[in-house]
Copies of this chain bind each other. A is one copy, B any other.
Amino acid sequence: MNSFGLLYRITSFGESHGAAIGGIIDGIPAGIKIDLDLVQKELDSRRPGKSELTTSRNEKDRLEILSGFRGNTTLGTSIGFLVRNTDIKSEDYDALQDIFRPGHADYTYQMKYGICAESGGGRSSARETVARVVSGAFAQQILQQWHDIQIDSQIQEIGGEISPEAQKEAILQAKKEGDSVGGIIECRVKNIPIGLGAPVFDRLEADLAKAMLSIPATKGFEIGSGFASARMKGSEHNDEMEMKQGKSVFLTNNAGGILGGISNGEDIVFRVAFKPASTIQKLQQTVNKNGEEVTLENPGGRHDPCVVFRAVPIVEAMCAHVLLDHVLRSRATTSPIK
């Protein structure tokens, strides 16, 4: 299924080299003012081709809103939108059509569907994230307007490096070698209301984990203390509380802002691991559709030595998506009606 979310829901479509990428957003109340320039800006920040550090594909990605608005105000109906694919050079890929590129979904798509898009990665291309960024940008604006929620993601690591300089060096080195590097993004959410989330299956961290692992190239998710918690004692890990100016506060935040699946008012903090991009220019051993072993000499298409920068707006978008969905759920079912 190509939908995400229960009450705030994006349904998306689009192959990388098809006519367009787009989606339908459901669940935005009527009468909300949206700054569409800001949405376009988020789209731009996802776009490759802006610096020496990323691929040179220049997609422009102009957002076209097809419904759900009167001026800049939502109507309460579903919002249809699309972004045309304008920079399609399918010949770049043609030679590759029959080869299962290592790290890509070519093999699994072929085995599952028995057919693939005419060129490009089709639905498995990260280009599908265009739709997520649009719906996430809407969500971010609504979260800000309603609760002043701030979502801020930072690159924590690239190629194992912590400092920006070393990270840039690692990327340029990988580019020179025709190789790629991965990284880790940390996302922090401020001003989150207490009480978002649910017990049992729809815990807030569970929905965030699904959202993050649904982003292409992700390999891991951790909340708060994360994997490090496995090496801590309960007495170190438990976040103690005290009263401060008449308000209960936590002394630490190993929980990452969520207890028992429900936000506790502290910052929500989580990290997402991205593998190095699968498209590289080094020789790779693989097989093709005819069951022949082949050497992939030059994967062609564009080569992006590090996708982590471009993933930042996607992480924020998916985070906003989950949060707005839970804000809407809370409005529906949590509080006794006044």
A contacts with B, residue count (CB < 8 A):
158
Which of A212, A223, A229, A254: most chain B CB closer than 10 A?
Answer: A229
Does A34 sit at the interface, judged by CB under 8 A? no
Q: Which residues of B contact A128 (CB under 8 A)?
A: 199-200
* Pick from B77, B184, B246, B329: contact of A13, CB under 8 Å: B77
CB of B337 within 8 A of CB of A29, answer yes
Min distance, Cβ A59 to any Cβ of chain B, angstroms:
16
Most chain B Cβ neighbours within 10 Å, of A24, A213, A226: A213
Work out how many copies of this chain go into the complex. 4
A241 and B78 in contact, given A15-B67, A227-B184, A264-B108 (Cβ under 8 angstroms): no
Whether the Cβ atoms of B24 and A23 lie closer than 8 Å is yes
B276, A232: Cβ atoms closer than 8 Å: yes
- On chain B, the residues within 8 Å of A68 by CB distance are 13, 15
Segment at the B interface, from A36-44, A49-57, A175-183 = A175-183
Residues of chain B within 8 A (CB-CB) of A109 are: 199, 260, 262
Known: A1-B27, A76-B113, A229-B274; 6 extra A-B contacts, CB below 8 A, are A12-B78, A13-B68, A179-B234, A209-B209, A234-B275, A235-B282
CA distance A284 to B252 in the complex (A): 13
A2-B201, A26-B2, A26-B11 known; A219+B226 contact, CB < 8 A:
yes
Interface residues of A in 105-156 (CB under 8 A from B): 105, 107-109, 111-118, 122-124, 128, 146
Q: State whether B26 touches A102 (Cβ < 8 A).
A: no
- CB neighbors of B among A297-322 (8 A): none
A222 with B223: CB separation less than 8 A: no
Q: Is the CB of B113 within 8 A of A31?
A: yes
The list of the 3 closest CB pairs from A to B, nearest first, reads A105-B260, A13-B80, A220-B222
Which residues of B are found within 8 Å of A291, using beta-carbon distances? 243, 246, 248
Report if A86 contacts B (CB, 8 A). Answer: no
Whether A205 is near chain B, meaning CB under 8 Å from some CB there, is: yes
